[in-house]
Amino acid sequence: MASAFFGRLVRLSAVRNARSSPPGPSSGSGRTVTPSRAAVSSSTGAILPKPKKTPFGLIRIAVVVVPFLYVGTRISKNFAALLEEHDIFVPEDDDDD
C-alpha cells in the first residue's frame, strides 16, 4: 500500500514538473546545463575583476572539524556501550597463557 502511494506521488510530481518547466536547451536532448563563469572580459573589452575569494583559514577548519569529531566519538562510544549492554557484540577475552 505504501509503495503504491509513493509511486502515485512520484508520478504526480513528474507530471507537475513537466507541465511547469519551460522548454529550454535541457528539455529536449536530455542534457543538463551547468552555469559557470568562463568570461574574463566584458563585451566592451574591459577585464572583469577577480571573483571574491573567501579565506578559509586553519581556525575555520578547526571550528568545523573539532565539534563534529567530538560528536562522532560520543555517538560511537555510546553505541558500543549499548551493543555490549545487550550482549550483541561482546569482545572475547582470549588469554594466551
What is d(CA 20, CA 14) in angstroms, rounded to the nearest whole number? 10
Query: How many domains does one find in the chain?
Result: 1
DSSP H helices in 1-97: 2-20, 25-29, 58-85
Tell me the per-residue pLDDT of 34-56, one tens digit each, with 9 for 90 and over.
Answer: 666 677 888 888 998 888 877 87
Q: Report yes or no on 61 lying in a domain.
A: yes
Residue 77 falls inside a structural domain: yes
pLDDT tens, position by position, 56-96: 788 889 999 999 999 999 999 999 999 989 988 877 777 66
What phi and psi, each to the nearest 5 degrees, are found at residue 27? Answer: -80, -35
Domain with 72, as residue range(s), is: 56-91
Indicate whether 24 pLDDT > 60. no
* In-domain check, residue 85: yes
